[in-house]
Amino acid sequence: MGRGLRLRSRLHRRGPVPAARRARRAAGHRSRGDRGCGHASRLCADRGKGAVHAAAALAPRRRGAADRPLAARRHALAGGAAARDPSAAEEPRGTACATLAEAAAVNVFALGSGDAFCSEGRGHTCWLIEDDRGLAAVDFGATALQALKRLGKEPQELGAIHFTHLHGDHTAGWPFLLVDAVYRARRTAALVVSGPPGARETLQALWSACYATAAKEPLPFPVEFHELSPGSEKQLAGRSVRAFAARHMRPPHVALSLRIGEVAFTGDTGSHEGLADLFRGARAICAECTNLEAGDEKHLSWSELRSLLPKVPVLLGHLGSGPRAARAEIEREARTLGLDVQLCDDLDQISLW
């Protein structure tokens, strides 16, 4: 499985927040001196046409030689065949394969990796999917809009948001996204939104509570709401979205885990038998890991996850202080169990395939 990730002795020292990092395939490492960086953009006077950010965007955080990337995967096999020059007869086929591979590429960004308390100074957990269908977010907490802009991602290119449940650390970024869309970006493109029953009413109330005057006016772009219950499956923004029951809220409130395409997202949940159904057939998993040890019925711990996880790439978020401090030990133990686990930090980028 390769070498373990470095455990930094102190997190978020004084000064700027560390630049984003990117977990890349084992065959594709570059040295530290070969890292890319974001390009500075100018702030235009016209807010409707302005740059996403007045300062340079942070490059997604990339791993150095001492970091362990997720294993490359091609047709479900770790690693991949060495590159070679195709013959003239093979060239069209090679071009077609390259096009298919590019179209199928899936990147996941950890816009935030912390729990509801922003433990260790991390943002609320929010996952950003980037594929050939564009951008989609899973949850959108209070720190998500800032994280998008720090990565240089235009928020108005976000085509869908899928809320797992309606707690504030997963929804509070909604009014900030709307006010940015209405007053800065002048958004016109449709936005697809899904969530558990009651999502539409809750999100409208949040918008009204934060920006009462703006909320009285119709939005200048369509919002397509879909309320999902456990067992629902829909095609949303070009992706298959399946809803599973999560163990996190008391009835009548509902919390969901989601399968979006081939990636499973636990959302906030305690351990329960239904997680096996969520994980079955997934090619990658984005899971919460709030605690080190079991004992919290509404959140997962590493002691529970290590016996539940299949042998596919696993990204852990919603990290409390305990798992964050034990990051190196957790990843080392995962390797001994044959698991491919990475504890995420804010602004991490992971190329899944």
Q: Which residues pair with 74 in a beta bridge?
A: 77
Sole residue written with tokens 């260790």: 120
Q: Full-prediction pTM beyond 0.85? A: no
CB atoms within 10 A of CB 270: 20
103 Ramachandran zone, left/alpha/beta (phi>0; psi -120 to 50): alpha
Give me the tens of pLDDT residue by residue for the chain, a chain 353 residues long.
Answer: 444 333 333 334 434 445 555 554 333 333 333 433 333 332 233 334 334 444 455 555 554 434 443 443 333 323 333 333 333 344 444 444 444 444 579 999 999 999 999 999 999 999 999 999 999 999 999 999 999 999 999 999 999 999 999 999 999 999 999 999 999 999 999 999 999 999 999 999 999 999 999 999 999 999 999 999 999 999 999 999 999 999 999 999 999 999 999 999 999 999 999 999 999 999 999 999 999 999 999 999 999 999 999 999 999 999 999 999 999 999 999 999 999 999 999 999 999 98
> What tokens were used for 27?
């065959």
- Quote the pLDDT of residue 58: 53
pLDDT confidence of residue 122: 98
pLDDT at res. 43: 26
Tell me how far CA of residue 309 lies from CA of 73, 115, 186, 277, in angstroms: 18, 21, 43, 12
Q: Which of 261, 270, 208 is nearest to 239 (CA)?
A: 261
> Terminus-to-terminus CA distance in the chain, angstroms?
17
- Per-residue confidence (pLDDT) for residue 234, from 0 to 100: 98
Phi-psi region of 18 (alpha: psi -120 to 50; beta: other; left: phi over 0): beta
CATH class as words, domain 51-62+105-351: alpha beta
pLDDT of residue 305: 98
CA angle 124, 303, 269 (to 5 degrees): 45
Domain map of the chain by residue range? 51-62+105-351
What is the structure's pLDDT at 104?
Answer: 72
Rg value, the chain, Cα: 20
